[in-house]
């Protein structure tokens, strides 16, 4: 009897001990469900902040650190960044050699493509979903406005690299890049360059309206895209499209509240977002350590990485030599390397770069500059000069140069001479900030390293690329070709 009661007990316990239905529902604690991103404006703001973060996180491999890396890649393809040592580190060398963007299997090239579309995909979630999120209109405008600037800017970066150059006044029916306005896993075809620019302008114009009342706050304020950033991007786009007046007025508006930095600030390492003239940049704090992959792990003079120790970056000797000794910008390069802050055991080379400094030799973090007033002044000067408003151009250039070189006398040059002066100062001012490749491409100029003494020919292999060469177009990564049936490759 005792036994039967016992058995009965066990069986009844068994029947009731069956698992609850929720037993099999488990959730990650290091991630949140995708739906939650749009459950409140607070969460949507977090999804926006995540986009600011992925501007400087690591992607597939060492040296792929968001927009900072893309900036470097574009400048390596020009003539002004020099890899000075034949037996030094070969990290990133494939860009200098014009190999990576023409190799469909290049991991670095794939990363560039992936990075911009990642931003677009994240932006689309917010652009297309924010209207239905409960919350204050001001917050929603801020979120949607920023997401639109991201989407426009990312498409702009893509079309400049993968599309043929924009020809102002012509029919730009050449193929650009896929326009992703809603998220889909279905492969999208390439839109024409014209269509891409039309959408970029549409997104920017809408963003400028939405961001009108928004003021950035917090320690990472300048990593947000406010109306000034939107205008700055608009100015860059207009410069490519040769809409000179739009370029000049937007550039002027974008920099209005960002006075040029002092000469003392100029030599502090280009790593501080609080610098007066920075309009847009990433803000990095120490627990976002970027180790050996970051922008500064490749372009600073002082971080203790194999790259910096054995292949410190140098400036084009000709560019350096052309800078007057009174120009503060000359002092961010070092003729002998003797006065450069280097990591332990690092090499010293002629024309060594010291423009960029990492937080320390042990910490590769630093705020990454994306847009500064100086660039806006140069856009204004170039646009006005191309418009024929010579005085306005000379004045804009003077505004910048008076700051950089106290004894600078306002230029009296005109026409191409004036433009050349502007272009020279663009190179001197924006070294390492990612403008050289796209400048050469939009201006339809050749890339030439001929006669630059400190380039190591055996290392760089490529000395000259004629204007209009097919190599000015990036190839689409093999992964995109494989998965996107609608995709057409650029001419090989």
Q: How far is the CB of 290 from other proteins (least distance, A)?
A: 10
Distance between CA atoms of 62 and 64, rounded to whole angstroms?
6
What value does the CA radius of gyration of the chain take, rounded to a whole number of Å?
25
Q: Is 107 exposed, middle or buried (0-12, 13-18, 19+ CB in 10 A)?
A: middle
Q: How far is the CB of 187 from other proteins (least distance, A)?
A: 4
Give the DSSP H or E segment for 81. strand 81-82
Q: Does 309 bind other proteins (CB under 8 A)?
A: yes
Interactions with other proteins, residue window 75-94 (CB under 8 A): 86-90
Q: How far is the CB of 483 from other proteins (least distance, A)?
A: 5
Distance between CA atoms of 301 and 361, rounded to whole angstroms?
9
DSSP calls for 372-396: EHHHHHHHHHHHHHHHT-HHHHHHH
Kindly tell me which of 24 and 264 has the beta carbon lying closer to other proteins.
24
Residue 27: helix, strand or coil by DSSP?
coil
Interactions with other proteins, residue window 15-34 (CB under 8 A): 18-19, 23-34
- What are the CA-CA distances from residue 109 to residues 95, 120, 191 (Å)? 9, 17, 20
Q: How far is the CB of 371 from other proteins (least distance, A)?
A: 17
Interactions with other proteins, residue window 179-198 (CB under 8 A): 180, 183-188
Distance of CA 190 to the CA centre of its chain: 22
Kindly tell me which of 360 and 387 has the beta carbon lying closer to other proteins.
360
Q: Does 286 bind other proteins (CB under 8 A)?
A: yes
Instruction: Detail the DSSP E strand segments found in 129-169.
Output: none
Judged by CB under 8 A, the stretch of 9-17, 142-150, 201-209, 259-267 that binds other proteins is 9-17
Q: How far is the CB of 404 from other proteins (least distance, A)?
A: 30
Interactions with other proteins, residue window 363-382 (CB under 8 A): 363
Interactions with other proteins, residue window 428-447 (CB under 8 A): none
Interactions with other proteins, residue window 135-164 (CB under 8 A): none
Q: How far is the CB of 184 from other proteins (least distance, A)?
A: 6
x/- track of binding to other proteins for residues 99-118 (CB under 8 A): -----------x--xx--xx
Q: Does 412 bind other proteins (CB under 8 A)?
A: no
Q: What angle do CA 230, 234, 238 make, to 5 degrees?
A: 175
Least Cα distance to 431 among 70, 72, 55 occurs for 72
Per the listing, tokens 């529902």 go with: 25
Least Cα distance to 151 among 159, 163, 162 occurs for 159
Interactions with other proteins, residue window 337-366 (CB under 8 A): 343-348, 360-363
x/- track of binding to other proteins for residues 288-307 (CB under 8 A): xx--x-----------x-x-
Q: How far is the CB of 38 from other proteins (least distance, A)?
A: 10
Give the DSSP H or E segment for 372. strand 368-372
Structure tokens at 50: 């995540």
Q: Does 212 bind other proteins (CB under 8 A)?
A: no
Q: How far is the CB of 408 from other proteins (least distance, A)?
A: 36
Q: Does 54 bind other proteins (CB under 8 A)?
A: yes
Interactions with other proteins, residue window 249-278 (CB under 8 A): none
Distance between CA atoms of 69 and 65, rounded to whole angstroms?
5
């Amino acid at each position: 009897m005792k036994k039967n009661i016992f058995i009965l007990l066990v069986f009844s316990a068994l029947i009731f001990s069956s698992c609850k239905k929720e037993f099999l529902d488990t959730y990650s604690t290091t991630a949140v469900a995708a739906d939650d991103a749009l459950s409140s404006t607070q969460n949507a703001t977090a999804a926006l902040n995540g986009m600011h973060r992925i501007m400087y996180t690591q992607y597939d491999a060492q040296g792929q650190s968001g927009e900072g890396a893309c900036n470097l890649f574009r400048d390596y393809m020009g003539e002004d960044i020099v890899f000075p040592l034949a037996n030094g580190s070969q990290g990133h060398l494939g860009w200098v050699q014009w190999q990576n963007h023409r190799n469909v299997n290049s991991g670095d090239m794939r990363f560039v493509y992936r990075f911009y579309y990642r931003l677009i995909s994240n932006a689309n979630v917010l652009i297309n979903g924010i209207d239905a999120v409960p919350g204050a209109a001001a917050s929603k405008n801020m979120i949607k406005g920023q997401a639109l600037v991201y989407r426009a800017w990312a498409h702009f970066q893509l079309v400049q690299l993968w599309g043929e150059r924009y020809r102002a006044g012509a029919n730009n029916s050449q193929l650009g890049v896929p326009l992703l306005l809603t998220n889909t896993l279905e492969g999208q075809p390439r839109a024409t360059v014209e269509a891409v620019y039309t959408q970029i302008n549409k997104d920017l114009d809408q963003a400028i309206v939405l961001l009108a009342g928004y003021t950035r706050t917090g320690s990472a304020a300048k990593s947000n895209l406010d109306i000034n950033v939107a205008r700055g991007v608009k100015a860059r786009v207009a410069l490519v499209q040769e809409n000179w007046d739009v370029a000049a007025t937007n550039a002027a508006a974008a920099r209005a509240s960002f006075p040029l930095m002092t000469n003392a600030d100029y030599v502090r390492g280009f790593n501080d977002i609080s610098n007066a003239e920075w309009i847009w940049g990433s803000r990095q704090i120490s627990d976002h350590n970027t180790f050996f992959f970051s922008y500064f792990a490749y372009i600073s003079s002082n971080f203790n990485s194999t790259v910096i120790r054995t292949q410190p970056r140098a400036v084009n000797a000709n560019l350096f030599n052309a800078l007057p000794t009174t120009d503060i910008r000359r002092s961010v390069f070092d003729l002998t390397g003797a006065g450069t802050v280097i990591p332990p055991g690092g090499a010293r080379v002629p024309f060594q770069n010291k423009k960029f400094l990492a937080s320390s030799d042990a910490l590769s973090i630093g705020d990454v500059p994306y847009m500064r007033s100086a660039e806006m002044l140069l856009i204004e000067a170039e646009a006005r000069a191309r418009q024929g408003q010579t005085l306005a151009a000379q004045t804009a250039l003077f505004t910048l140069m008076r700051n950089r070189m106290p004894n600078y006398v306002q230029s009296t040059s005109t026409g191409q001479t004036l433009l050349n002066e502007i272009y020279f100062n663009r190179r001197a001012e924006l070294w390492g900030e990612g403008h050289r490749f796209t400048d050469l491409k939009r201006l339809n100029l050749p890339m030439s390293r001929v006669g630059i003494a400190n380039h190591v020919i055996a290392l760089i292999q490529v000395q000259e690329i004629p204007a209009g060469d097919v190599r000015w177009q990036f190839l689409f990564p093999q992964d995109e070709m494989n998965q996107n049936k609608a995709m057409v490759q650029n001419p090989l």
